[in-house]
Amino acid sequence: MSRRIRSGTLSIHRTGRHNITNKALRFVVIGSGMAGILAGMRLREAGYDKVTILEKTSAVGGTWRENRYPGLYCDVPAHAYTYSFAPNPNWSSYLAPGPEIRRYFEDVARRYGLYDIIRFGEEIAHCSFDNARWTVVSKTGAKYEADVVVAATGVLHHPRMPDIAGLGTFAGPCFHSARWPDGIQLDGKRVGIIGNGSTGVQLVSALAGHAHRVTHFQRSPQWIMPVENRPYTDEERRAFRADPALVEAIRFDKTYLGNVQRFTEAISDPASPQMAMIEAICQEHLEKSIADPTLRERLRPTYRAACKRLVFSPDYFKMVQRPDVEVVTMRIRQIEPQGVRTIDGVAYPLDVLILATGFHADRFMRPIGIYGRGGVRLEDVWAKRPHAYLAISMPEFPNLFMLNGPGGPVGNFSLIDIAERQWGYISQLLALIDRGECRAICPSHETLAAYEKRRIIAARRTIFGSGCSSWYLDAEGVPNTWPWSYDAFAEQMAKPDLTAFERIA
């Protein structure tokens, strides 16, 4: 059953439940980030009591546990980046800082009793399907049997180290943005940052004025979408606590939802007026914000706005015009013990070097070895590109369901909402197993082949395929994304087409 709220043309999914009859079903959820907490909570809420969440580290929170760099915040409004079942009237600001989001997930896990079912320090080595059940083996040697496995392993969690000569020779601290060292002191230091995606840009904003000097190495310019952030006052938070409708008004705010709607329509149709509007906003932001015409041209991308994941920032352009911040657009030749040298021979002396160089976004649940029916290896199935029917399930891997899997929706909107909708879909498949209509279920080969054919054709036409490099692209340059509108996604998730699936008795 699902309840939907309509606001403008964008529908927001609320829940996905079924009445259970088979409490004996065993579930293993891999990962205790946003999606794993969601799956664990929904399964417990449905009444299943054989649910285990396996977490490789010692804490919940996924990407919000891994990323601890200064200036980290979520560019989705906090009240929209919140589970529908756990609104948070206490958010400190319109866009919440990373540590607060992490505490939110810890709090939800605690409130829903999930710490009782999470096994920490359990990194999965392999999972295999045989005789209609999964055997999951961790690196500690522990073995878990499950009827259903939910892979909630996230997308951006394997840091990509840059392939730059001399990387290992730097004399000072040098680390990836998602491997922030405890206690590192940057005040008064000469800090270099390589990479200007969302992470690098947030880092520059946070460190400017604290570091002695920030040198930002930019390989390709980024379009920057201006965004406003502001703290909520104590009085506002009191009001949120007293009246949940005030929180809902922000979550379902027409302007925000209109922007999400416009963005998803623009992505799928680069010739649309919606895309023209996004481009105009980014262009105007660049023209009006950067006073020096030379710097402006160095910051001007040659590809279309939103081709790479749009960077949202309230103040990056302001920061790069400070006298203690420099954007270096000359290519890096090498890293040396004392700093970075560009191909024109100029040396940039540094005390600390931060690599905001992104992630291997094609790994998903790998390196876990996943063996489906008849021993088929996921690694082989995904040799060309990771792919899954509606980003959720695959032939030969029955009862293995992914949240935020390959080809799933991406964009600048709440992945929590996406995962909740995906869960609504998965729960309807679980209902079949629960009622004993089958022991296991997976899409047919024909279903996935036809779906992928359609998806790839549409993906090439999206703005992500319009001619730039980005983590959205697979090894063949095809965007590994949901290529249709948000409404089309919501429609698909509302009710599975059961003819697409093979049921295993």
Q: Is 74 in the site for ligand NAP (CB under 6 A)?
A: yes
The residue of the chain with the least Cβ separation from ligand NAP equals 197
* Choices 20-28, 193-201, 265-273, 381-389 (CB under 6 A): range interacting with ligand NAP: 193-201
Please, are residues 203 and 177 in contact by the beta-carbon 8 Å criterion?
Answer: yes
The residue (of 315 and 502) whose beta carbon lies closer to ligand NAP is: 315
Rounded Cα distance, 422 and 482, in Å: 13
CA–CA dist 54, 408 (Å, integer): 23
d(CA 404, CA 401): 10
In DSSP terms, which residues pair with 460 in a beta bridge? Answer: none
At residue 215, what is the residue type? T
- Verify binding: residue 195, ligand NAP, rule CB under 6 A: yes
The SS3 of residue 284 is helix
Q: Give, in order, the Cα–Cα distances in Å from 173 to each of 177, 328, 353.
A: 12, 20, 6
Q: How far is the CB of 475 from ligand NAP (least distance, A)?
A: 15
Q: Which residues partner with 503 through β-bridges?
A: 441
In angstroms, give the least distance from the CB of 299 to ligand NAP. Answer: 13
Q: How far is the CB of 415 from ligand NAP (least distance, A)?
A: 9
215 binds ligand NAP per the rule CB under 6 A: no
Interface with ligand NAP, residue 503, by CB under 6 A: no
Q: Which is nearer to ligand NAP, 32 or 202 (CB)?
A: 202
Using rule CB under 6 A, residue 469 touches ligand NAP? yes
Q: Does 156 bind ligand NAP (CB under 6 A)?
A: yes
Listed in sequence order, the DSSP H helices in 25-172 are 34-46, 63-66, 98-111
Binding pattern to ligand NAP, positions 358-387, x when CB under 6 A?
x-----------------------------
Quote the least distance from Cβ 7 to ligand NAP, whole Å. Answer: 22
Q: Which is nearer to ligand NAP, 219 or 363 (CB)?
A: 219
Concatenated DSSP letters of 316-385:
HHHHTTSTTEEEE-SPEEEEETTEEEETTS-EEE-SEEEE---B-TT-TTTTSEEE-GGG-BHHHHTSS-
When binding is defined by CB under 6 A, the residue of 60, 193, 356, 392 that contacts ligand NAP is 356
Binding of residue 409 to ligand NAP (CB under 6 A): no
3-state secondary structure (DSSP) of residue 65: helix
Site residues for ligand NAP, 290-329, by CB under 6 A, read 309
Which of 156, 353 has the CB closer to ligand NAP?
156
Please return the burial class of 188, using the count of CB atoms within 10 Å of its CB with bins 0-12, 13-18 and 19+. Answer: exposed
Residue 82 within binding range of ligand NAP, rule CB under 6 A? no
Q: Which is nearer to ligand NAP, 290 or 468 (CB)?
A: 468
Tell me phi and psi for residue 313, to 5 degrees: -150, 135
* Contact residue for ligand NAP among 40, 89, 197, 398 (CB under 6 A): 197
CA–CA separation, 225 and 279 (whole Å) = 9
Nearer to ligand NAP, 194 or 353 (CB): 194
Instruction: Give how far Cα 396 sits from Cα of 130, 497, 504, Å.
Output: 11, 18, 11
Name the segment binding ligand NAP (CB under 6 A); options: 124-132, 159-167, 246-254, 385-393.
159-167
Cα–Cα distance for residue pair 153/201, rounded to 1 Å? 26
Stretch that binds ligand NAP, among 10-18, 180-188, 250-258, 353-361 (CB under 6 A): 353-361
Does residue number 339 form part of the binding site for ligand NAP (CB under 6 A)?
A: no
Q: Which amino acid is at 398?
A: P
Does 357 engage in binding with ligand NAP (CB under 6 A)? Answer: yes
Scanning 42-50, 67-75, 262-270, 368-376 for contacts with ligand NAP by CB under 6 A, the matching segment is 67-75
Q: How many other β-carbons are positioned within 10 Å of the β-carbon of residue 395?
A: 21
Q: Is residue 471 close enough to count as binding ligand NAP by CB under 6 A?
A: yes
Residue of 143, 163, 255, 344 interacting with ligand NAP (CB under 6 A): 163
Residues that bind ligand NAP (CB under 6 A): 73-75, 156, 162-164, 194-200, 202, 219-220, 309, 332, 356-358, 469, 471
